[in-house]
Amino acid sequence: MDLEPGYLLVVDDNEMNRDMLSRRLRKKGYRVQVAEGGAQALEMIENDAFDLVLLDIMMPGIDGFEVLEKIRGASGPSELPVIMATAKTESEDIVAALKRGANDYVTKPFDFPVVLARVQTQLALKKSRDALAAAHHRMQKDLEAAAAIQQTLLPAENSEVGGARCAWRYVPCDELAGDTLNVIPLGDGITGLFVLDVSGHGVPSSLLSVTLSRLLGSAPDSSSVLWSRNDDSGARRAASPAEVAYELSRRFPYNLETRQYFTMVYGVLDVNRHLFTYVSAGHPPVVHLRSGGESSLYTSTGPPVALVPEILGPVEYEEVEIPLEPGDRLYLFSDGIPEAHESGGEEYGNDRTAQHLQSCFHQDLDESITSLLAQVWEWGGGSGPGDDVSILAVEIED
């Protein structure tokens, strides 16, 4: 077996054993240090980075069992493998060593080919575990970097738009989320608002989520679906919610291989006309709280994007208009809230969501979101929902 040289520590109070093992292991390409007893071994292990320890059990003073216990107090079996060496073949010695965290054992008198094979095996396992840990570390750093990128695509906290105040929460259930949301000024008192939820979790969902965030960006260029052209003048204008939904369904057709789809509510808030016009692609309802405290639920106006095969015909999305008055509130949220369930399996539900928000109408907009999330977490027994949670709230100013 071809292995890179390992750094070994041979611990034995018998000089002949130390000399024989160290010489023969060095001939096999290993770097080897030796210790005459347990106290010296522990000092060397504390001050040096060994790959493996060959440890005798029967030694005066600090015996091998005590040394092993101290090693395991600082390093796990995968970090520093220990092979115990004993002159005894009784099973209780072997069992005691393995229970204390030994990786393997050899018996005296040493059969060097057996010792070498077990050293090679433990070093190969350590090398594999180290490579796996390094890969995991790299992946974790990549996930953290990707999550940071997702965060940059979210709106500023408690965004102010002309004539309205906004508040939001974004709570991924994993490092990366399939949810996203944004508040996008479109000019002339018009603001685009959206919350979307890509099916599934993890990297595939987050990649599509980031792509959609870019497409729903504010820049009036060819990549953004929030802009269209006037048929007569050719000048760019803010696209209607129905145009946005249609364009997304055109760019993301049904795909049998990926099976990815997404739900979304996209709306345009016109503070001059006190009007919110939206489309919903299979998304949870929009909650409208009137300044008097009455609540209404506005349901979806079409299927999720990329869920319906083209053979069933073109997808259409109907626009809905919600007239607004000063003091009115709108809440857009992903299904992580209504689909949160308690121990018995009952979902929190859309109606309960609207009722709780109605009960929080006296609170500040941001506080009402905090209260709702606390209620949802309590509903789930304190563990929270098993899905991403996104919520975007808007209040029309007086």
Domain residues of the chain, as ranges? Answer: 7-141, 153-396
- CA dihedral sign, ordered 227, 232, 234, 236: negative
Q: What is the structure's pLDDT at 20?
A: 93
Residue 244 CB partners (closer than 8 Å, separation 6+): 216, 225, 226, 266, 279
Closest to 54 measured CA to CA, from 30, 29, 73, 74: 30
227-229 vs 190-198, strand pairing mode: unpaired
Do the two domains 7-141 and 153-396 of this chain adopt the same fold?
no
Cβ–Cβ under 8 Å, residues 287 and 295: yes
Q: Are 13 and 36 in contact (CB under 8 A)?
A: yes
Q: State the Cα–Cα distance between residues 164 and 324, nearest whole angstrom.
A: 11
**Second-level CATH architecture of 7-141:** 3-Layer(aba) Sandwich (3.40)
The DSSP bridge pattern shows strands 236-238 and 389-396 to be unpaired
Alpha helix segments (H runs only) across 153-252:
202-215, 241-251
Beta strands in 142-274 (DSSP E): 160-161, 164-171, 179-187, 190-198, 227-229, 236-238, 262-270
What is this structure's pTM? 0.74
Centre a 10 Å sphere on the Cβ of residue 120 and count the other Cβ atoms it contains. Answer: 17
Q: How far apart are CA 345 and CA 158, in angstroms?
A: 34
CATH topology for 153-396 is Phosphatase 2c; domain 1 (3.60.40)
Whether the ω angle into residue 109 lies within 30 degrees of 0, i.e. cis, is yes
What is the Cα–Cα distance from 65 to 81, expressed in whole angstroms?
14
Written as tens digits, the pLDDT of the chain (398 aa) is 444 689 999 999 999 999 999 999 999 999 999 999 999 999 999 999 999 999 999 899 999 999 999 999 999 999 999 999 987 666 788 888 999 999 999 988 899 999 999 999 999 999 999 898 889 888 878 777 877 888 888 887 656 688 899 999 998 887 788 899 999 999 888 999 999 999 987 888 888 999 999 899 876 666 789 988 777 776 788 899 999 999 999 899 888 888 899 999 999 999 999 999 999 999 999 999 998 778 999 988 899 998 887 666 678 899 999 999 999 999 999 999 999 998 888 999 999 999 999 999 999 999 999 999 999 999 988 777 778 999 999 999 87
Pairing mode, strands 82-86 and 104-107: parallel
**Tokens of residue 3, six digits:** 């292995």
Rounded to 5°, angle at Cα 249 from 205 and 321: 105
User: By C-alpha distance, which of 188, 249, 246, 248 is closest to 213?
Assistant: 248
3-state secondary structure of 330: strand
Structure-derived torsion over alpha carbons of residues 343, 349, 354, 356, reported in degrees to the nearest 10: -10
